[in-house]
Chain A
Amino acid sequence: MFRFLLGRLAVLIPTFIGVSIIAFSFIRLLPGDPVMLMSGERVMTPERYAEISHRLGYDRSYIVQYLDYLWGILRGDFGTSISTKSSVLGQFFQLFPATLELSLCAIIFAVVLGIPAGVLAAIKRGSFWDQTIMGTALIGFSMPIFWWGLLLIILFSGVLQWTPVSGRISLMYFFPSVTGFMLIDSLLSGQKGAFTSALSHLILPTIVLGTIPLAVIARQTRSAMLEVLSEDYVRTARAKGLSSFRVVGIHALRNAMIPVVTTIGLQIGVMLAGAILTETIFSWPGIGKWMVDSVFRRDYPVIQGGLLIIAGMIMLVNLIVDLLYGLLNPRIRHQN
């Protein structure tokens, strides 16, 4: 297991450097210039342009800029945002809990509903249930997030007035952020009704962000289950007279989980992309919205730093998924 872990870690380092090169060069390959954008329609004199470029270090060669950037990262310095003038890492950690809280809720929502739905569709293959579940999953998968979010807001917040429109908590409540997770902070604050308010603000964004992963997980679970259910050992288990719950729930499901866990891991990457739109619709102060704003402003340090940190996290999640395989399936861990 230890060697397995080391092997995986060794792959991470070149990947990380690769990502840093891509993050650095990608934004510079795009047309557009942060210094030029600072003044908008107002034209900047060439002297002032040169002075500001120099101050920001953009007049140096790309290689020098990259090495300087890399050296900064090694020291834990991801640079300073051009627009807000504050540290990229500081801002990231201030905003990340909001994204994490929403993503966790969404993935839990997707797993809790997706796996049973997939299992149900597999054991009732071809039935009305199967058709309904798979049909709904297809619709969910194809739904444009922006449209879906607005639709839910108009229905549940506008017409029915069951849920709040946007934000993380009602503006009535105001307390210092301790963990950054609103559910926890609202409990810690001790203010009456704060937790309920935070929870109600999570409902719609969770559904919107969780919809695509839910659809994918349900479909993946169904196909993995179908494959496993036709295996010999399942037939043997049935022949032994085990209850259908034990056969499906313990013998089949555990083996069917390997591709499903992979899918869940991959969905975390997909979810960060979805978070960009979801956060914009629901005015959710997370990193997705932060990154989009930075792209529009060509805020190089934020885009580079943000991409790198997010990529690093996805790599970490994938590493954890790899390790989970090992736990779920001893053959994988012994092959290495």
Chain B
Amino acid sequence: MAQAEKEVLIAVDGLRISATSDEGQEIPIVKGVDFQVHKGEVVALIGESGSGKTTISLAALAYTKPGLHFAGGEVRLHGEDLLTMAPLKQRAIRGAKVAYLAQSAAATFNPALTIGEQVTESAVLHGIMDQASATQRAEELYHALELPDPDRIGHRYPHQVSGGQLQRLMAAMALCGKPDLMVLDEPTTALDVTTQIEVLKAFKKVIREENSAAIYVTHDLAVVAQIADHIVVLYNGEVMEQGTADQIINDPQHAYTKRLMEAVRPRPMAGMGTEVSGDHHRDIDNLEVRAMTAGYGGLVNGEPKFPILKDINVSVKNGHVVGVIGESGCGKSTLARVMAGMLPPARGDIILDGDTLAGSLQERELNELQKVQFVFQMADTALNPKKLIGDIIGRPLTFYHGLKGKEKHQKVAEILQLVELPAEFASRYPMELSGGQKQRINLARALAADPEVMLCDEVTSALDSIVGANVIKLLTSLRDKTGVSFMFISHDLSTVASFADEIVVLYAGRVVEQGPTDEVLEPPFHPYTRLLISSVPEMRLGWLEDTLQKREMAVGIARGVEITAKGCPFFNRCPQGIKGTCDEQVAPLLKLNAGHEINCHLTLEQLNQVETETRLALDGAAA
């Protein structure tokens, strides 16, 4: 590595940051951290939530979150200590020399101003350039970041562009004033895998072209492997290990780093799902939707005004786990909401244990409601903050099963034990638990109803990898213990692959492929499934470059989900789309072995052929 010759841009030396408790005690948050960022280098800070990675990254702007303060150490930018600098000088550095990119671009942009105004604001404010040259610089950046319509995107408002585009625009905002250092805080965590690739690619290109340096904060090692030169592994405010990306990824030394590696979700592959135990088997399907169409905004001529789902056939077998995947906007949550009765379908049947269910909540019987439980994505908002955990879990017990007093109390303790939490938690409020624990309570409430089917909507998406992996483990054990069937919605294919018996791939409100996990994850693939599979980052250096060479990437990642009235909705992103057929007619159903179904105009031979070609092309590129 030529690192030794490169100029040190920022040096963090013995950094300590503390909080002060109500009693006036010092609580150390960051306990003496050292690392350096050289010019033109990306340093990744990785660790679980609570490891202090964001707190440390903010120190590069001489900033702490409210309630925290610097307790010692130095952060030297070009040899000058930022922490002891006068506030006015600190202010001159923020946004000009060091720029910050927050996790959620949607929350960062002001909805009332155009994108262009916001991208150029800090450069102009700091007097680095005048408005005209800033605007010109911004346009260059739009080109470099491969944003659509780069000459005019600056005139749009934030809600007029997609999430991935907004994330890249935030990079433009940070880069506009030509900062020496960018601090990126989990910039791709909230994105779909396909969008994530697009954003990573743009970041990487721009960082290289601008020769700027970056601190990249994330918990995702696979992402880090693609973008970082140097990795700092953090736990509980201390550096566990640091080294070059190559060394950390390929030869981790510290046991904690190895632990993090294990929690990285493996690539989705056939044979990852667990076997269903036969104990709870029944012949009849648990919950099923047939020829179901649903949408929002009321009905116009029997069709929903804003259609989301079209002609869906999905069935959840007893004791099985059905994984539903697709990018955001594909209608995954809508499907679960229809099944739970929260959104009455426009057409089609919902069948529970062989009986047709009413579409709306009001018309369903209490025991029907009890059998189908919906688990919300965000435990933070799904649990009433003013109720004790014991009351939250106890309510379904009273409501459905009439349990009261001591009996209820005992059952609550049992359920808490089932989700691997101590019984004392019954007397806590949701705010007093960590994110993973809240999610367990969220599941426990559904379990308390003693359901037949649990519909889990992205229950692991907001959790970091180790905590998420634990929740999946819990769900697997729950299925084995109780025989509950699950519909597990996620945009993360690896999670679904490790847990589900069957996979349903949704695209733009249609099922494009479904079948047993092992079949769906083996070729032949629907072109969309292949796009999803190849978008899951691998934890090896150079994966990003390899993947971008695949041809489905060229077409697939550049566009978003669009719901179309006719034809196959994937047509405009499909590298093998047949004009005149795919965009006109509804795709026919290809039935393969073991209930594996693909909705595609291509024949089985064509799908298989693509597979061979891709493999050959990749081998050729590698050689």
Check if A and B associate.
no
A interface residues, Cβ below 8 angstroms from B:
none
